[in-house]
Amino acid sequence: MGSTTDKIKGTANEAIGKAKQGIGEATGSERLQGEGVVQEVKGKGQKAMGDAKDAAKEAMDRAAAAARRAAE
């Protein structure tokens, strides 16, 4: 998956997780609240993975540019 896909899925999972938590609180469902927490954390992890992929790509691009300049 690309970094953008990770970030989009992460944002969606965070939002769904928060919604589940709210519905769980409103209905008194501890199970739904727990599922919401897990899904929200999963979303945060997906977003972090997308950020890490972006950072790695930027570092590789900078290293490649530096190598090209050094070869000139």
Model confidence pLDDT, tens digit, residues 19-70: 999 999 999 999 999 999 999 999 999 999 999 999 999 999 999 999 999 9
Question: Which residue's entry shows tokens 């090209």?
Answer: 68
Q: How many CB atoms lie within 10 A of CB 72?
A: 4
Closest CA to 16 of 48, 50, 43: 43
Cα–Cα distance measured from residue 32 to residue 56, given in angstroms and rounded to the nearest whole number: 36
Longest dimension (CA), the chain: 67
CA 62 to chain centre: 24
Asked if 10 and 45 count as a contact pair (C-beta separation under 8 A), the reply is yes
Q: pTM score, two decimals?
A: 0.80
Residue 72 pLDDT exceeds 90: no
Domain-wise residue ranges, the chain: 3-71
